Structure 1
């Protein structure tokens, strides 16, 4: 695979500010979708059908097949439904009939989604038994899912996260309305900064825990459209809460579809420079279309997308099957293996912003080098000593949480 490059683009091609006209943002998003259409197969590929586990999205279980079949049916029916609407106008049908037809189509779609895919629960909790540890008692972990995610798949997401990090995970269900309608919702959320019900629920839960004096750390993991919703929640939290409470928050995203990710400086006089949220990390597959529409497209814009970016030279967008399985690989004992190809990759740091360093943490873009053309990044230790080989795991804070670990405990040691 050729080495990847994220280069700073011509100023004339700089994306519109996320505060620009919603209609202009909507048009730009549509053009962006066309531009990166070549990456669409990378959403589902590789299928890895022969190596899936029961927690993977495409594992051939009965409930997984029901979810997948329902999404295929909804995708086809939604495309036909949207195409048919202009014809009702061309045929000069009475306005009452047209509205009744649209209402009936949306109502039937909603009923199918509620009965087959979503269910009544808006908040789910992982079912994995985790060992009780004193350092975990004051932590709260949350997850917001991406598009087309049924309740069954979401439960598998948080169960795998719980196995990976040894904590109870609470999920705010970003309910699916079918793939096509979910994508339309993404465009509305990004362009109009529209907060849907799950955004508002997530805001309430996170704010409640950040204000809770017994809670010392709040971790939120976001996937796909969940990144859009998480960015809106963070905007609200930055407006509402004092800085000392925001330092309890940590954010980790996978295949982030947001068009911005704010994290302002605490003070213009503070040296070294500190940010309101101390730790933000983004993980992206280079061949993932959603990442190209979000984090990979906007990360080069100054002060637009804060946080360290870890890029894996692979494809796939599904949370368990393409991200957790490749970056936090579980062994047969359902514990994260101490080694996997991504975390063991040597890295080529293409951009390091020293102005945001705090307690040894820096925002940076990490590009793994699979062909080993770049053997290491120098931390020169003397003329007679070879440079230290740096790997992805040396920079990833989330990696230190595997199997119930804690980077804060490691730091104190």
Structure 2
């Protein structure tokens, strides 16, 4: 098997109106139709049910807390479907009774969800980590996706902490039940509506970027968190100085967003990127590193990143498409892409990172994507990773290697040669590029 690699879009000078800036009602209609067209992979949200590579941290592991959460979500699904089905019949009763009915349903729903959500806006990972000097100037932030209560969010940030050897701050996007969460996704991504947790995330991320102590702010997003993170980035691009934005790195899993902005800092950089298809390192974008990870049969990915990256849209960042099912962050993404050993350290080799990368045969549909050039050091062996200087442009094989091999690629390119996030495993850090 191979992993499909989709380079970042370049962007255009006059690409207006873009799809995500169109009529909200038309966008909503298009989204609903896309939802039903994508239903063929709906089982990819929860399947496969096992194995549980992270044990009790996996969402579907049969622990008491997980089974309780699943039981509550099962009840909420039936409760919310029954409510939506009943709405067309409400015209038969007086308006005041209909309003009272809706209010009672929503109050009961909120009360049930309190059992899942708790009352904390922010959570901290509880995993003991070995702090390195370079970690002192980093701030790692995570925003969760659909149907995640306090227990699952804690499991997510603990799993991320084991994976990357850092303390992780989780911004809680509380669940209202899977059905109502999906409706919230439609509202957020088509009407650009910012909920309280979006505003919480924006306040935290903006403060971290403005803090002179921080040289790097890493934002990890999952599912609906991709929509919310995209809205936060839109606000940051409007308010934050470019030199502060250069601290930010963004990594997403199963991204549900319909756009992801990252304009070039200067028009000359955009013109150079269009002329060279992203081959030069001087074309700097506002956010230096954006990577998206998606399972090919994950319903949310198919409904989100895998659809919108392929059309004339504003969806920046490179995409890695793993052949497989599953949407849960721990069980279906981290367990397959960053599996842990018995010591809770990321294994140095795994099937996903060793997969061959399948390069696109042509540019992206609509907005042309960046081409394939490299930054793998001349002396890099087949067992080592590339030093990826800019993850918004494809990795590049150095000129000496090209010349020696008559311009052909030196070996089978694997996911680990492209993934900047892989270089953070077990507390490590990528090499410094020297860019500002």
TM over 0.5: same fold?
A: yes
Question: For residues 246 and 321 of structure 2, what CA distance do their matches in structure 1 show?
Answer: 26
Counterpart of 1:369 in structure 2 is none
* Cα distance in 2 for residues equivalent to 1:260 and 1:71: 29
Could you tell me which residue of structure 2 aligns to residue 375 of structure 1? none
1:160 aligns with 2:129: no
Distance 1:129 1:99, change over 3 A: same
Tell me, yes or no, if structure 1 residue 289 matches structure 2 residue 273.
Answer: no
- Does the CA-based 8 Å contact 1:287-1:314 persist in structure 2? yes
Q: SS in structure 1 opposite 2:156?
A: helix
Q: Per-residue deviation at 1:356? A: 11
Change (3 A) 1:364 1:138: closer
Pick the aligned partner of 1:28 from 27, 30, 35: 30
Root mean square deviation, CA, Å? 2.7
Q: Matches of 1:408 and 1:298 in 2, distance apart?
A: 31
Q: 1:16 to 1:203 in 2, by over 3 A?
A: same
Structure 1 stretches of 4+ with a deviation exceeding 2 A read 1-8, 49-52, 300-303, 354-366, 378-387, 408-412
Which of residues 286, 293, 312 in structure 1 aligns to 2:322? Answer: 312
Check the 8 A contact 1:52/1:58 in 2, yes or no.
no
Match of 2:277 in 1: none
Equivalents in 2 of 1:199, 1:331: separation in Å?
A: 34
User: Aligned residue for 2:347?
Assistant: 337
Q: Secondary structure at the match of 2:431?
A: helix
Q: Does the CA-based 8 Å contact 2:45-2:328 persist in structure 1? A: yes
Q: Secondary structure at the match of 1:329?
A: coil
The verdict on how the C-alpha distance between 1:112 and 1:386 changes in structure 2, with shifts beyond 3 A counting, is closer
SS at match of 2:212: coil
- Tell me which moved more, 116-125 or 301-310: 301-310
Query: C-alpha deviations, 1:106-164, integer Å up to 9, x for none?
Result: 000001101x1000101000000111211000100000000001110110000000000
Cα offset, 1:83, TM superposition: 1.1
Deviations 1:243-285 (A, max 9, x none): 1000000000000000000000000124531100000000000
In the alignment, structure 1 segments of 5+ residues that lack a partner are 9-14, 367-377
Residue 143 (structure 1) aligns with: 142
Aligned-partner SS, 1:342: helix
Counterpart of 1:171 in 2: which secondary structure?
strand
Specify whether residues 283 and 203 from structure 1 end up closer, same or farther in structure 2 by C-alpha distance, changes over 3 A only. same
The aligned runs of 1:358-373 (5 Å cut-off) are: 360-361=389-390, 363=392
Match of 1:372 in 2: none
1:304 deviates by 1.2
Relative contact order higher in (CA < 8 Å, ≥ 6 apart): 2
Q: Residue 268 of structure 2 aligns to a residue in which SS?
A: coil
Number of residue pairs the alignment of both structures matches: 392
Give TM-score, length-normalised by structure 2: 0.84
Query: Which residue number in structure 1 is paired with residue 67 of structure 2?
Result: 65
What CA deviation, in whole Å up to 9, does each residue of 1:20-57 have, x standing for no partner? 11111100000001111101111111111565611000
Scaled by the length of structure 1, what TM-score is found? 0.89
**Do the aligned partners of 2:3 and 2:321 also contact (CA within 8 Å) in 1?**
no
Equivalent runs, 1:1-40 vs 2, <5 Å: 17-40=19-42
Q: Do the aligned residues in 2 keep the contact of 1:310 with 1:365 (CA within 8 Å)? A: no
Q: Deviations over 1:215-264 (max 9, x none)?
A: 11000000000000000000000000111000000000000000000000
